[in-house]
Structure 1
Amino acid sequence: MAGTDGSLSRSGLRGRAVELEELQALIASVARTGSGGLALIQGEPGIGKTTLLAEAVTRARAAGFSVGLGKADELHRIVPLSSLAACILHGDQPLLSGDAFVDLARNHDQRIWLVERLAEAIEAKADSVPVMIALDDVQWADPLSRFALKQLPTRLRTSPVLWMLTGRLEPAGPAEEVVAAATDELRTVTVPLGPLSGAVIGQLAGDTLGAAVDERLRDLLGGAGGNPFLAVEMLAGLRTVEASGELPPGLVVGVRGRLRPLQPSTLRFLQMGAVFGRRFGFQEAAALCGQPSTALISALEESVRAGVLDDDGDHLVFRHDLLRQAVYVDIPPSARKALHREAANQLVSAGHQPIDAVPHILKGAVPGDEEAVALLQRAADDVLSVTPDVAADLMSHALEMVPPARPLRFAVGEQAIVCLTRAGRNREALSTGDRLLACRPPLEAFSRLQAALGGTLWNMDLADELRRRAETALAIGGATAEVAARLAALRGLALSRGHDLVAAREAGETALRAATAIGDREAHVLALSGLGEIALNAGENAVALERFAALSAVDAAFLPEEIVAQQHVDDFESSERLLRQAADNAGSFRPAMLLWGQAQHHLGLGRLDDADADFVTMERLEDDVQVPVQQVNSRVIRSRIALLRGDREAAQQHLAAAQKGLATKPNPGNTAAVRFLEAIHAEADGDIGLAIDKIRQVQKEDFFMRWRLLRDWVDSAIRMALRGADHELAEDLALQAEAHAERNPAVPTATGIAAQALGLVKDDLAMLERSVALLKASPRPLVRASAYADLGQALLAAGRKPQAVAALTQAHGTFAESGAHAAAARVQRDLDGAGGASRRAATVQRPVQGWGALTASEKKVAHLIAVGHTNRSAADLLIVSPHTVNTHLTSVFRKLSVNSRVQLANLVMALPDN
């Protein structure tokens, strides 16, 4: 096992037969089944992780895998996607070209979008050949790579993609996070590497020395503790000093022994390289030495001959992290700090991105270093869109470096607030802002800080506090025109949560005029957002659409709001068109909010299975980025869907989740939504008194939410009130529906529901017939079915059975087609009473396993994937997101008990209708 130069070529592999066999089995499994897998090799530094990984890579290549092999670097663990880039861009057949990767990483600002594009590239490669992605030292992976590693193995579980990672033993570290995210979804293997036995260490010594190991040497090697790298380094150090009879007792001494014969210039060169990290550029180290590159060629050659460095043609690499650390530790601490600061300057001067210099800034900058602060600001701005948490950390460091007395502190603090808010760290942002405000900043800085805190307070649902602060800052004065416009827009946004919507609209219009006059984009966006919210809360759907359409024209990220606004005016054709537009340009939008719009589209069109899958996917994406915006509302709607389907257990689970979410985010909208859901559950449980109490609370305490919450559900609330003989409440609700129709005369759903509400309250058959007639123009089938059911019952009561049966049959068919089995069953009972058993149309419940368990959408996805479509191409055909396709596909695999696309294709092709 010795190399031609006498060095050990596979020093960590002896004694690892069992571990290698386990990895070999996983390689074979992925190749055979066509499904994904993940392996984690763990152990202390020098235990042989890298060597075992290299052997696994060799065997994977021999098995036909396309391999991408990379290594995370300790000093690059801030740079977004740097760790995965090493795997994606290198290997026998890179998954992406360098130019494509740069475009991917720089031009798009959505983590979820970026990960999906990576998944598509890997999936496309895996369609023709199994893929292995191997990453060494995952404990140093950058945050964006860690985020991707937690998503991609599960996302690609249906393709032959094998992930192989090495990492140190760190409880709750990055490696454990990646494995935990994948454990329940695909085959995972953790391979711990323990110390080698004394006998195996003796074999390693024989490999290295080419001779038998005597007793004295065996005693020396006992100090390696079974660590193969330490043992080999001790032996290598022994070679350099054996003439003098010295015996190096450990790694650092062993390395020093090896380095002792080197020229002083070579030692200095190695130390400068160690400052840059395990992997560094020759010119960068030379510059840090203060010498031209040509003067250090001999030092480079000597370092390579000594086995300290490897030269891959582009970079120099310390042969092991422990070698680099042993060299680095000999640099005096004070000198290290200065060298890191100089290294940052060298990187910036050489044209590197600011983020590349940040690790050295953090190690070398001192308080008051304004140049370093400016570099941190630039780096934070560069990474904010893809890794806001990193940007927030950078700005927190920058703020710490600015002495309190300097005016720069307020500008840095403002940027820190923005970054912390974008990262979802709102409490930290507010605390930072308040500390800065306590320092009595100049009036202009005071206004800027209050404006920066606007988004923070809005996210925290502190609308009254936002209004108070905005009004205070405007009253004090001293703000620039741009900041004053933003404060005015924030005031309008805050007022949208109050009862006086007339005053709120006036404030919003004034803010919009100011924003337009000065051309400030941020103020323009804030003003339009506030006016859109005000219109929604006032029940003015056409006005809301106008505002949100204007908003998405200014900032495409708000297209989801325009999509939902189109649905509120019954324009589902435009909603679908915009969803297609978003699918073509997904990197410009907020994926979770886009899924919210897609789910509302499917829900409105009565596609309950599709809507539920969209909501599930949206919740997962919000969990991934830890920004829970619509979690409560999603669970409320999913609970209603479950009740419509007749799944009481799932409905209760969603109610409990919504109540738990409300405790965390108790804003008025969430409160009203959960109260209304509690009313529905109380009615289902037979407690009509409690149900009515909950509806009353919504009417009285959450006045402005009534238009948004009961827009399509007011008929349910009226039925509850009538069941409980609370005619006053029922009439109030009907008047509300009538007022909503007056605000939206061109929306068939609004006018039809108003007629339905009045017909229910007054027991007016003619009005219920008018409701059905109006709702024929509505695109919402479940709303139409509800009106037909009410009409059918009224016709039965009037003794008009034939007409009643026709109306009830229409309701039953629509409910059943949408998957609302429980609603269909209720209508069926009325049909039974009207026309006897001969008219029964049985509601068939799906089984839980097998092809029959699949929803219509899942069957479509299964067919598309079976004939070779990717998630992306299937999504384009179905007008959904690739994330939703993945949700459907995961459900398909579970219900059919298959583990790969190959198995799915075989099953689908064997079906009788294929």
Structure 2
Amino acid sequence: MARSGAPLSRSGLRGREAELEELQALIASVARTGSGGLTLIQGEPGIGKTTLLAEAVSRARAAGFSVGVGKADELHHMVPLSSLAACLLHGDQPLLSGDAFADLARNHDQRIWLVERLAEAIEARAGSMPVLIGLDDVQWADPLSRFALQQLPRRLRTSPVLWMLTGRREPAGPAEEVVAATTGDLPTVTVSLGPLSGAAIGQLAGDTLGATVDERVRDLLDGAGGNPFLAVEMLAGLRTARASDDLVPSGLVVGVRGRLRSLQPGTLRFLQMGAVLGRRFGFHDAAALCGQPSATLIAALEEAVCAELLDDDGDQLVFRHDLLRQAVYVDIPPSARKALHREAARRLVAAGHRPIDAVPHILRGALPGDEEAVALLQRAADDVLSVTPGLAADLMTRALELVPSARPLRFMVGEQTILCLTRAGRNREALSAGDRLLADRPPLETFSRLQAALGGTLWNMDLAGELRRRAETALAVGGTAPEICARLAALRALALSRDHDLVAAREAGETALHAATASGDREAHILALSGLGEIALNVGDNAVALERFAALSAIDSAFLPEEIVAHLHMDDFESGERLLLQAADKAGAMRQAMMLWAQGQHDLGLGRLDDADAEFVTMERLEHEVQVPVQQVNGRVIRSRIALLRGDREAAREHLIAAQEGLAVKPNPGNTAAVRFLEAVHAEADGDIGLAVDKIRQVQQEGFFMRWRLLRDWVDSAIRMSLRGAEHELAEDLAAQAGAHAERNPAVPTAAGIAAQALGLVKNDPAVLEHSVELLKASPRPLARAAAYADLGHALLAADRRDQAVTALAHARGTFTESGAHAAAARVQRALEGAGAGSRRAATVQRPVQGWGALTASEKKVARLVAQGHTNRSAADLLVVSPHTVNTHLTSVFRKLLINSRVQLANLVTSLPEG
């Protein structure tokens, strides 16, 4: 019998002409404009999504697109990146070679890094031809593929990359998440497929049975409800009946079950075993599940293929449609299904499959008390933790459910569950799970292990006081292994880093470090060094902090951002830049968002406000994507300050509101101090000096002002506010703190210079301010120098030393202008004009909002490189920034230039006058 699908390859599109036209228009648009697009073809099973996708792919290929198409599978939806792998590795011109993908897989210890590498590979192909990436049944996509699909279309929106997805309306979630993530960033079209019209179904019947379709057949086809797959299955049965001159079988089931009744019992059993394994399955795996040698099932395989129930692609067997598999699967009694899934998991592992391949069967077949299943879930969770921590957390939660409360295994599984939930950012769940386990009165050593496991959870939740209490309780219990004692001691020190008594905290940290060294426990060593580094920074001992963080990054390179920032606190920007370059070469091991924090701090310190702002924007986006908000509050505080320096009061206010909202989520003392200071700055800008001074006092209620590392370079602003508010005592206290900080850091020019500046402001002494300017000449921080020159200029004017004042103010104005701090430069300019030096006015014109003139210097560099044909990666390498930052700059470029493709950018840049 001819395959029922074969003669319908074209007629399968009956009634879909309008939808196909819409897809054709999107294909043409991507090819013509050179910008990206996304479409979701949505509808119930069998409604024609796959057929429509196949036709659209065929047309795109004919139009010169490089095509990669894959299909997600319900029972294989957990293997990280398995869904997208099919899109990237298959086709006439795979987007990635098998070797390249294997290399990606070996390094996928970070989701953001992996997505960036995938983007680079796709972008490189899109540089020579438009690209279509299609994924069928996106509702079954694995978690990492779903994550990538939410990022990649936006990341590649300026390249000719068209994403075509198909998905069911139920289960809802994955498809809608992808569309929501891209809405507003690139053209997005949702094509909803409803039932075919009666006329279209009639055309299908005519295509299959001939020109004449009698009324009896039409009535029967009404039962298909406009579903083309069901109609085709019925027509295949009718065609068979006519070929044998049989009457239409009475009671023919609408759908596919009627197709199964004629099969040999052995074939039906073989299909049932395959249905348990999934839509795609191995012949040998199905034979093993049947309990028969493979050779004895060849006849059954042949019958299933001839009946057009299975396809054989040479590697695996595939049910021709999900509905076929489901029809076979639902006829297996539920209790038998459970047992078969459990047996399938056992046999897959025995055959050498990865644990994650067997997990879907475990989830369907394991019963409470199944320790073998628990062990398999633990192994699978460990395998996927680094790249899909949410999945790992789900697997361990299920594993914990399978272990009865009475068994000691429960505590070991519980410890791993806590760690996975914490890694996934699900801290409240982790704490709840831990407390339930602790309520079961575990043995003393287990009690301590669980408290140690909860350490990271409590730290992430900003519960430093609770962390300290629990660590001390566990340490007091005794009877704990040395390595767990060392971890608890280190966690206690880390908690104390947020305490007021930092001397005691440092002593605790040193004790913890000795314990970690003696025990040889790597985790304890990392925790102890981290705690000591935090304590040293909070105390203001920058050299000690650098020593601790350098030792920490030597143990684990993921902590290189902390070492870079520690170098910056020492004014050693040269070493910081060297390490940033080093990090770019080993980005796979880095925490991407924290590296951007370090890069942003580096550029902010050097007065590169535009670059710093772009890096903090990107950092916040990456933290949001992985749902681990660490520096978002501080980032917004800095961005608000940058906006005020530039003169963008509206943006500054938006950042203030975002910082306040972030503080509500993470109300730790450092965040509180930073936001209160920012509120003071805004109050001063609004002319409410009383409120500004009140906010400065609130900062000190959280801890002395110089306790907060983010604020140290801004103490001059706090002193000016205090003096304007006639709070001289407060100003003196702040100056004394700055002086003490400088004494602790004699090798840091910025600390010495700011201390002298603070004293000069309090004493209103031009000589001391002149000394601060001399000290700051050795500082690499231009904004600190400019502020000191401005203060000196104002003091000299007050002392009626006009010529010297004009020189100092002009120097401040020039430095502010060079950094893009136009509002600060304008304030200095007004002072110059008041001194009668208006003729020496420098341009402080604000940038326009749109057009080439609206671009920052960094954006213009990125725009010119991309216009020359550079990818984000190659442009990033030339500019010594991250590809993420280039993408942020490029997004801003497109918005300001009102364009949406690299082709348009190239045309625009070419038309610009030289120079």
Indicate whether the TM-score tops 0.5: yes
Structure 1 residues 640 and 841: CA distance shift in structure 2, 3 A: same
1:454 Cα deviation from its structure 2 partner: 0.2
Residues 158 and 900, structure 1, Cα contact 8 Å, conserved in 2: yes
Matched, 1:81 2:81: yes
Residues 381 and 391, structure 2, Cα contact 8 Å, conserved in 1: yes
Q: State how 1:87-486 maps to structure 2 within 5 Å.
A: 87-170=87-170, 173-239=173-239, 243=246, 245-251=248-254, 254-486=255-487
1:836 Cα deviation from its structure 2 partner: 3.3
Write the letter of the residue equivalent to 1:599.
G
Residues 384 and 419, structure 1, Cα contact 8 Å, conserved in 2: yes
Question: In structure 1, what is the Cα distance between the partners aligned to 2:708 and 2:293?
Answer: 73
Residues 768 and 787, structure 1, Cα contact 8 Å, conserved in 2: yes
Structure 1 residues 135 and 660: CA distance shift in structure 2, 3 A: same
Of 803-812 and 167-176, deviating more is 167-176
Question: In structure 2, what is the Cα distance between the partners aligned to 1:196 and 1:725?
Answer: 79
After TM superposition, where is structure 1 displaced by more than 6 Å over at least 4 residues in a row? 2-6
Question: In structure 2, what is the Cα distance between the partners aligned to 1:818 and 1:250?
Answer: 76
Write the letter of the residue equivalent to 1:197.
S
Residues 12 and 49, structure 1, Cα contact 8 Å, conserved in 2: no
1:248 Cα deviation from its structure 2 partner: 4.3
Root mean square deviation of aligned Cα: 1.4
Matched, 1:808 2:838: no
Question: In structure 2, what is the Cα distance between the partners aligned to 1:615 and 1:568?
Answer: 18
Structure 1 residues 366 and 3: CA distance shift in structure 2, 3 A: closer
1:169 Cα deviation from its structure 2 partner: 1.7
Write the letter of the residue equivalent to 2:144.
L
Residues 498 and 704, structure 1, Cα contact 8 Å, conserved in 2: no
Residues 672 and 705, structure 1, Cα contact 8 Å, conserved in 2: no
1:211 Cα deviation from its structure 2 partner: 4.8
Question: In structure 2, what is the Cα distance between the partners aligned to 1:686 and 1:848?
Answer: 27
1:262 Cα deviation from its structure 2 partner: 2.1
- SS of 1:545 mapped into structure 2: helix
Q: State how 1:613-624 maps to structure 2 within 5 Å.
A: 613-624=614-625
Aligned counterpart, 1:764: 765
Write the letter of the residue equivalent to 2:207.
D
Write the letter of the residue equivalent to 2:390.
D
Question: In structure 1, what is the Cα distance between the partners aligned to 2:383 and 2:876?
Answer: 31
Residues 705 and 737, structure 2, Cα contact 8 Å, conserved in 1: no
Question: In structure 1, what is the Cα distance between the partners aligned to 2:520 and 2:735?
Answer: 44
Residues 707 and 740, structure 1, Cα contact 8 Å, conserved in 2: no
1:709 Cα deviation from its structure 2 partner: 3.5
Q: Percent identity?
A: 84
Q: Residues 76-119 of structure 1, C-alpha deviation per residue, up to 9 Å, x if partnerless?
A: 11111111111011111111122321221233311000000000
Residues 238 and 248, structure 1, Cα contact 8 Å, conserved in 2: no
Aligned counterpart, 1:54: 54
Q: Residues 565-622 of structure 1, C-alpha deviation per residue, up to 9 Å, x if partnerless?
A: 1100000111111111111111101111111111111100001111111111111111
Question: In structure 2, what is the Cα distance between the partners aligned to 1:248 and 1:317?
Answer: 28
Residues 39 and 165, structure 1, Cα contact 8 Å, conserved in 2: yes
1:236 Cα deviation from its structure 2 partner: 2.3
Question: In structure 2, what is the Cα distance between the partners aligned to 1:5 and 1:140?
Answer: 24
Aligned counterpart, 1:595: 596
Write the letter of the residue equivalent to 1:138.
V
Structure 1 residues 492 and 81: CA distance shift in structure 2, 3 A: same
Q: State how 1:777-788 maps to structure 2 within 5 Å.
A: 777-788=778-789
Write the letter of the residue equivalent to 1:220.
L
Residues 672 and 702, structure 2, Cα contact 8 Å, conserved in 1: no
- SS of 1:134 mapped into structure 2: strand
Write the letter of the residue equivalent to 2:848.
P
Structure 1 residues 737 and 44: CA distance shift in structure 2, 3 A: same
Question: In structure 2, what is the Cα distance between the partners aligned to 1:171 and 1:73?
Answer: 13
Aligned counterpart, 1:709: 710
Q: Residues 499-531 of structure 1, C-alpha deviation per residue, up to 9 Å, x if partnerless?
A: 111111111111111111221100000000000
Residues 529 and 547, structure 1, Cα contact 8 Å, conserved in 2: yes
Unaligned runs of 5+ in 1: none
Aligned counterpart, 2:819: 818
Residues 392 and 416, structure 1, Cα contact 8 Å, conserved in 2: yes
Aligned counterpart, 1:740: 741
- SS of 1:478 mapped into structure 2: coil
1:244 Cα deviation from its structure 2 partner: 5.6
Write the letter of the residue equivalent to 2:777.
K
Question: In structure 1, what is the Cα distance between the partners aligned to 2:654 and 2:400?
Answer: 44
Of 891-900 and 100-109, deviating more is 100-109
1:698 Cα deviation from its structure 2 partner: 1.3
Question: In structure 2, what is the Cα distance between the partners aligned to 1:248 and 1:808?
Answer: 95
Question: In structure 2, what is the Cα distance between the partners aligned to 1:28 and 1:577?
Answer: 46
Aligned counterpart, 2:633: 632
Write the letter of the residue equivalent to 2:249.
E
Write the letter of the residue equivalent to 2:381.
A
Write the letter of the residue equivalent to 2:136.
D
Structure 1 residues 297 and 232: CA distance shift in structure 2, 3 A: same
Residues 11 and 48, structure 1, Cα contact 8 Å, conserved in 2: no
Of 642-651 and 230-239, deviating more is 230-239
Write the letter of the residue equivalent to 1:112.
I
Aligned counterpart, 1:45: 45
Residues 336 and 364, structure 1, Cα contact 8 Å, conserved in 2: yes
Aligned counterpart, 1:656: 657
Question: In structure 2, what is the Cα distance between the partners aligned to 1:813 and 1:211?
Answer: 85
Question: In structure 1, what is the Cα distance between the partners aligned to 2:106 and 2:412?
Answer: 26
Question: In structure 2, what is the Cα distance between the partners aligned to 1:518 and 1:686?
Answer: 58
Of 430-439 and 233-242, deviating more is 233-242
Question: In structure 2, what is the Cα distance between the partners aligned to 1:453 and 1:87?
Answer: 40
Question: In structure 1, what is the Cα distance between the partners aligned to 2:251 and 2:479?
Answer: 70
- SS of 1:191 mapped into structure 2: strand
Q: Residues 330-387 of structure 1, C-alpha deviation per residue, up to 9 Å, x if partnerless?
A: 1111111111011111211121111110000000111000000000000000111111
Q: Residues 654-710 of structure 1, C-alpha deviation per residue, up to 9 Å, x if partnerless?
A: 111111111111100110000000111111111111111111121233238634133
Question: In structure 1, what is the Cα distance between the partners aligned to 2:321 and 2:3?
Answer: 17
Residues 468 and 496, structure 2, Cα contact 8 Å, conserved in 1: yes
Question: In structure 2, what is the Cα distance between the partners aligned to 1:412 and 1:746?
Answer: 50
Question: In structure 2, what is the Cα distance between the partners aligned to 1:265 and 1:423?
Answer: 46
Write the letter of the residue equivalent to 2:408.
P
1:878 Cα deviation from its structure 2 partner: 1.1
Residues 79 and 142, structure 1, Cα contact 8 Å, conserved in 2: yes
Question: In structure 2, what is the Cα distance between the partners aligned to 1:647 and 1:696?
Answer: 27
Q: Residues 144-190 of structure 1, C-alpha deviation per residue, up to 9 Å, x if partnerless?
A: 11110010001001111110000112485211111111121111111
Write the letter of the residue equivalent to 1:378.
R
Q: State how 1:873-892 maps to structure 2 within 5 Å.
A: 873-892=874-893
1:302 Cα deviation from its structure 2 partner: 1.1
Question: In structure 2, what is the Cα distance between the partners aligned to 1:564 and 1:765?
Answer: 33
Residues 41 and 191, structure 1, Cα contact 8 Å, conserved in 2: yes
Structure 1 residues 188 and 236: CA distance shift in structure 2, 3 A: same
Question: In structure 2, what is the Cα distance between the partners aligned to 1:107 and 1:648?
Answer: 43
Question: In structure 2, what is the Cα distance between the partners aligned to 1:845 and 1:823?
Answer: 12
Question: In structure 1, what is the Cα distance between the partners aligned to 2:22 and 2:556?
Answer: 52
After TM superposition, the score normalised by the length of structure 2 is 0.98
Residues 368 and 402, structure 1, Cα contact 8 Å, conserved in 2: yes
1:260 Cα deviation from its structure 2 partner: 2.4
